[in-house]
Amino acid sequence: MENIQAIEPRPPFFNRFKKAVGKYFWGYFFILPSLLIIILFKLVPLVIGFAISFSDWNLLSSPEFTGLLNYGRLFTDPTNTKVFGNTFYYAALSVPLNLTISLGLAIALNQKIKGLAFFRTAYYIPVVAASVAVSAIWVWLLSDFGMINTFLTSIGLQSVNLLQNTKYALTAITLVDVWKNLGFNVIIFLAALQDVPEELRDAARVDGASSSSIFRHITIPMISPAIFFTAVMGVIGSLQAFDLVFNMSMKHEGGPARATSTVGFYIWQNAFKYSKMGYAAALSFALMAILLILTIIQWRMRRKWVYGEE
């Protein structure tokens, strides 16, 4: 008869935790400051904001519990149709444009050309530039007496103030956003392109593959993780658009007839202009839910086209 060995009981959680901390003490020690910052400035405000979304609070008096009233108002507020429509238009225009232009620039900068370091730096400067400064420059450029309209009138064309035109104001701000944030994606794509093995391209050329075929069947699949990352971050960032909209909108009112009002701008208005913190919080969580759903959809779809995610 075989000997039956007794199974030792699993050590208590505290002992296992203590052992893990002892083994990785310095790792936990160095991530602790970042973890505390996330807890204090992300998680705690998130919980407080969720509680505020069920109340009526004007920042001066005590919050008054209103239940689901603020969330119900999301479906009855006529302004939401406009601001959510503007926000989705902003994202639908800025994300594809940014990805396409930045990929093209990254391919150009990936070549052996003179002054490469200068161009890389030049494209990244707008990313780190203050949004207020960028907005001020472009407001002047697009104004009635700005450089763009001065040039148009000099060649006999009619000047147009894009930021005061209900049809073109949001498009103008979106294009400025693309210009400002282009450099971030250029750096990401450039790093991905430099990581593509040159041997694969050489082997394809030996087999008679054309440049377009190599780009479509080798380069794009190899840099697809970078495309996925920039697409996800682009959608998240564009749906939260606020700074350029706020600074470039006419008198900070969301443009003529709310032509440039986005969800982020409308949240700011309700919170700090109309003193409706509860409704602003509800709008914030509605936007967060949309972002979460879109991110999950993108994450699920990655298996169909992102290299290495089968």
Show me where the domains of the chain are located.
Answer: 13-52, 71-305
- What per-residue confidence (pLDDT) applies to 7? 52
Lowest mean pLDDT among 5-14, 75-84, 227-236, 296-305: 5-14
- What per-residue confidence (pLDDT) applies to 17? 63
pLDDT confidence of 220, banded at 50, 70, 90?
Answer: very high
- What per-residue confidence (pLDDT) applies to 5? 55
- What per-residue confidence (pLDDT) applies to 198? 87
Average pLDDT over residues 214-233: 93
Note the pLDDT tens digit of each residue in 229-279. Answer: 999 999 999 999 999 999 998 666 777 889 999 999 999 999 999 999 999
CATH number of 71-305: 1.10.3720.10
The tokens describing 108, both together, are 């150009």
Whether 11 shows a pLDDT value over 90: the answer reads: no
Strand partners of residue 55:
65
Q: How many Å apart are CA 279 and CA 266, to the nearest integer?
A: 10
Percent of the chain with pLDDT strictly greater than 70: 91
Percent of the chain with pLDDT strictly greater than 90: 61
* Cα 138 from chain centre: 21
Whether 153 shows a pLDDT value over 60: the answer reads: yes
Whether 202 shows a pLDDT value over 90: the answer reads: no
Q: Which of 109-118, 133-142, 202-211 has the highest mean pLDDT?
A: 133-142
The residue that leads in pLDDT, 209 or 66, is: 66
8 A C-beta contact, residue 270 and residue 279: yes
The residue that leads in pLDDT, 55 or 158, is: 55
Q: Find the length of the chain.
A: 310
- What per-residue confidence (pLDDT) applies to 266? 96
pLDDT confidence of 64, banded at 50, 70, 90?
Answer: very high
- What per-residue confidence (pLDDT) applies to 250? 66
Q: How many Å apart are CA 183 and CA 121, to the nearest integer?
A: 9
The tokens describing 202, both together, are 């050489």
Three-state SS string across the chain, please?
A: CCCCCCCCCCCCHHHHHHHHHHHCHHHHHHHHHHHHHHHHHHHHHHHHHHHHCCEECCCCCCCEECCCHHHHHCCCCHHHHHHHHHHHHHHHHHHHHHHHHHHHHHHHHCCCCCCHHHHHHHHHHHHHCCHHHHHHHHHHHHCCCCHHHHHHHHCCCCCCCHHHCCCCHHHHHHHHHHHHHHHHHHHHHHHHHHCCCHHHHHHHHHCCCCHHHHHHHHHHHHHHHHHHHHHHHHHHHHHCCCHHHHHHCHHHCCCHHHCCCCHHHHHHHHHHHCCCHHHHHHHHHHHHHHHHHHHHHHHHHHHHHCCCCC
* Cα angle: 137, vertex 141, 145; to 5 degrees: 125
Note the pLDDT tens digit of each residue in 131-152. Answer: 999 999 999 998 888 888 888 8
- What per-residue confidence (pLDDT) applies to 162? 86
